[in-house]
Amino acid sequence: MTALPTRKLEAWRYTDLRALAAISFAEPAPVVVQVDLPDLGIPRIVFVNGAYEEALSTPPSFCAGFAAVAEASSFPLAKINAEHARDGVTLVVPEGLDAGAVLLVSYASAEMPIAFHPRHRITLGVGAKLTVVEVAMGQGVYWHNPVTDIAVHENATLAHYRLQDEGPESFHLATIRAKIAAGAAYESFSAVIGAKLSRAEFHATLMGPGGKTHLNAAQLLGGHQHGDFTSIVAHDAPSCASRQTVKSVLDGHARGVFQGRIEVARAAQKTDGYQMNQALLLSDTAEIDIKPELEIFADDVKCSHGATIGALDPEQVFYLRSRGIPEGQARAMLIRAFLNEALEPVTHEGARALFETAIENWWARK
Amino acid sequence: MLEIKNLSASIVDKEILKGVDLTVPDGEIHAIMGPNGAGKSTLSYVLSGREGYEVTGGAVTYNGRDLLAMEPEARAAAGVFLAFQYPVELPGVGNANFIRTALNAVRRTRGEAELDAVAFLKLARAAIKDLHMPDDMLKRNVNVGFSGGEKKRNEVLQMALLKPGLAILDETDSGLDIDALKIVADGVNAARSKNFSALVITHYQRLLDHIVPDRVHVLAAGRIVRSGGPELALELEAHGYAGLEAA
């Protein structure tokens, strides 16, 4: 197996995988799902311990099975995924089709430590449209290491929403790679709530003029959780727009990481890049590490980034309480308001309700 | 009825209130006037339960209940409302959602049924119409981008919907033009009833042309130094606060 990355690698400076490396993982065994899985009234594709579960799935017509591929990149986790991938979904939306929405659920149940490495592919033909809602959840000690390769062809639009609500003892390391053609859009939002340690690494490449992408996220972490949101947006073509609003709410001893790089190639004139990272620290022991990077080789570009770190404003809390709103509810309202901007790309009603509930539940169980 | 007895309070070890005695019976509106630094805002914050103020002596009861022992939200549920001198902006929180959440929190503690969004909007739109306020007031984020006058009007709107038994208006007139001042005064006058009382804190007499108080008290150097009828406000306007501290 390819070795796990260590903190000696710049890209992994803030996320230490030694706790993961210390565990020996077994191959997953089949299990019976004993919990209610999310249901949005749309086609659903369910993976249990990394394997496609036909009995729980209602796949759409454009869904195909797994096919192994060689990993061309040198990214350690993608290489490990390629070495171990046993299953995954392939969605191919034909040219011009508005394919509606699909729910992709990963459920894990581990008696002893298990690892699974699904390889998903999503391809949208010219002018096609699709919304993919992903939910990852589970219990026990497990390592979920998915790689999702996405191609959005000319003038197509993919909305991709991820709810990472994995079990408290789990590890979630996801790699999402999106190639965005001319006039196409890749609109994403990730909610990072679960797992003991997680990282979502997005690589979005704007390959043709007029492409656009949102890579938004909300990280809600407490206890001793570690959540890393890393993104690399490559502007390879002119007149593309990338937007990123990442908000972190950190309590207890939680540690959040945001690394965001925007690369603007020489050809990518008229690039419009925006990146905002904001963290709300609810305790004195929570920590956020923020690393924005701009690498610009074109001369006619507009790129901005900003970062803020703060606490809840006691004036705002008092204002709400003075109107009769109990303190806990007042704080929850302000936190929800803080997350607003990050949630903007979530236009699908079912997905939005899913995130609202997940955010409420996070607060309630905190 | 609000009863304040020998109330002393300090902030960061500096004594601001030095034995305030004041009774506001139900159905009455009392004005508190006084020079800057007299302790007017401190009194309003102590009554509403803001953190950072230490009560060093005395007692405050509202309808017989020990107000000082209650959390701010419990005071609101008991019927105490503070109209802020500087209303706070809440980016990302819609005004309708904010007021409905507050109203339902208060209703819950009173054992009343909560209002759904439709029932609330009906109520809120009626209140907005009565107060001659623009409709979009409910759609905007709480106080974000509001002018000074709009912020004060929003306070009055909240008061109209929460229907407190006791309203404390902390310098609500500051920064208001005459039209906004009238709207605010109309809001308070509309609330007048035998179950409503108000403590109107102001530096200037002009608000009291529109909200005619039953009693006027002068707060100076942390104590009530004079009390009288509405004519006292006119006297202060003519002669200023000079010399009152010695009285």
pLDDT the model gives residue A366: 73
For residue range A11-60, list pLDDT tens digits in order. 999 999 999 999 999 999 888 888 899 999 999 999 999 999 999 999 99
Determine, yes or no, domain membership for B139: yes
Q: Alpha helix locations (H) across A101-150?
A: none
d(CA A177, CA A151): 8
B8 pLDDT tier (thresholds 50, 70, 90): very high
- Distance from first CA to last CA of chain B, Å, rounded? 28
Q: What pLDDT is attached to residue A226? A: 98
Kindly report the number of other CB atoms within 10 A of residue B89's CB atom: 17
Residues of A in contact with B98 (CB under 8 A): 320, 323, 333
Asked if residue B245 is part of any domain, the answer here is no
Q: Determine whether B91 is exposed, middle or buried from the number of CB atoms within 10 Å of its CB (0-12, 13-18, 19+).
A: middle
Give the separation between CA A10 and CA A257, rounded to whole angstroms: 13
The whole-number pLDDT of residue B174 equals 79
Task: For residue A103, report the phi and psi dihedrals to the nearest 5 degrees.
Answer: -105, 130
State the total domains in chain B: 1
Q: Say yes or no for a CB contact (<8 Å) between A320 and B98.
A: yes
- Residue B94 C-alpha, separation from nearest chain A C-alpha, in angstroms: 9
Looking at the DSSP bridge assignments, the partners of residue A173 are A199
User: Which residues on chain B are in Cβ contact (under 8 Å) with A340?
Assistant: 92
- Residue B235, Cβ neighbours under 10 Å: how many? 14
Quick check: is B228 in a domain? yes
User: Which pair of structure tokens corresponds to residue A221?
Assistant: 């972490």
Lowest mean pLDDT among A236-240, A304-308, B134-138: B134-138
d(CA B116, CA A334): 21
Q: Let me know: does A298 contact A329? Beta carbons within 8 Å.
A: no
pLDDT digits (tens, 9 = 90+) for A141-166: 999 999 999 999 999 999 999 999 99
| Residue ranges of chain A whose CB lies within 8 Å of a chain B CB | 314-316, 318-327, 329-330, 333-334, 336-341
Mean pLDDT of the residues in chain A: 96
- Which domain covers residue B34, as residue numbers? 2-239
- A104-118, A255-269, B161-175: lowest mean pLDDT where? B161-175
> What is the rounded average pLDDT of the residues A300-304?
95
Judged against a pLDDT cut of 70, whether residue B245 lies above it is answered with no
Decide which of A270 and B133 is more confident: A270
pLDDT digits (tens, 9 = 90+) for A229-242: 999 999 999 999 99
* Interface contact A322-B98, CB threshold 8 A: no
Q: What is the CATH number of the domain that holds B189?
A: 3.40.50.300
> pLDDT confidence of B113, banded at 50, 70, 90?
very high
Give the C-alpha separation, B56 to B154, whole Å: 33
Q: How many CB pairs under 8 A join A and B?
A: 73
Chain B nearest C-alpha distance from A339 (Å): 8
Q: Is residue B37 part of a domain?
A: yes
pLDDT of res. B236: 85
Structure tokens of A82?
């390629």
Q: Is residue B30 part of a domain?
A: yes
Give CA angle at B230 (B224, B232), nearest 5°.
Answer: 55
pLDDT number for residue A347:
95
Task: For residue B116, give the amino acid letter.
Answer: D
Please list every residue in chain B whose beta carbon sits closer than 8 Å to the beta carbon of residue A336. 92
A76-104 tens-digit pLDDT: 999 999 999 999 999 999 999 999 999 99
- Give the start-to-end residue ranges of the domains of chain A: 10-312
Tell me the residues of B at the A interface, defined by beta carbons under 8 Å apart.
Answer: 48-51, 71-73, 75-77, 81-82, 84, 87-88, 90-93, 98-99, 101-103, 105-106, 109, 158, 162
pLDDT category of residue B244 using cuts at 50, 70 and 90:
low
Q: Name the nearest CA neighbour of A304 among A292, A320, A290.
A: A292
**pLDDT at residue number A342:** 97
| Predicted structure pTM score | 0.91
Length of chain A: 366
> What distance in Å separates the CA atoms of residue B23 and residue B44, rounded to the nearest whole number?
14
pLDDT band at A193 (very low <50, low <70, confident <90, very high): very high
Residue B51 belongs to a domain: yes
The string of pLDDT tens digits covering residues B140-156 is 999 999 988 889 999 99
- Asked if A323 lies within 8 A of B105 by C-beta distance, the reply is yes
Q: Is B90 in contact with A334 (Cβ distance < 8 A)? A: yes
User: DSSP readout, A237-266?
Assistant: SSS-EEEEEEEEEE-TT-EEEEEEEEEE-T
Q: What is the pLDDT of residues B177-212, one digit of tens each?
A: 888 888 889 989 999 999 999 999 998 888 899 999
Q: Examine the pLDDT at B246 and tell me if it is beyond 60.
A: no
Higher per-residue confidence, A221 vs B175 = A221
Percent of chain B whose pLDDT exceeds 90: 73
Q: Which residue has the higher pLDDT, A291 or B179?
A: A291
B90: helix, coil or strand?
A: strand
Task: Give A-chain residues touching B87 at CB under 8 angstroms.
Answer: 319
Instruction: Flag if B162 and A321 touch (Cβ within 8 Å).
Output: no
CB contact under 8 A, A337 and B91: yes
Which residue of B76, B99, B103 is in closest CB contact with A322?
A: B76
Distance from first CA to last CA of chain A, Å, rounded?
Answer: 37
Cβ-based neighbour number of residue B68 at 10 Å: 17
Tell me which residue in B73, B84, B93 faces A324 most closely, judged by beta carbons: B73
Amino acid at B30: H
Best interface-test mutation with B: which of A280, A315, A320 has the largest number of B CBs within 10 A? A320
Least confident of A52-61, A313-322, B131-140, B208-217: B131-140
Of A253-262, A286-295, B15-24, B34-43, the one with minimum mean pLDDT is: B34-43
Separation in Å, CA A151 to CA A21, A28, A202, B239: 32, 29, 13, 79
**pLDDT of the residue at B247:** 44
Q: Do A337 and B87 touch (CB under 8 A)?
A: no
Q: Pick the residue of B41, B44, B48, B50 with the most A CBs within 10 A to test the interface with A by mutation.
A: B50
Please, which residues bridge with residue A144 across strands? A116, A172
CA-atom Rg of chain B in angstroms: 18
The one-letter code for the residue type at A335 is I
Do A318 and B51 make contact, defined as CB atoms within 8 angstroms?
A: yes
Shortest Cα–Cα distance, A325 to chain B (Å): 5
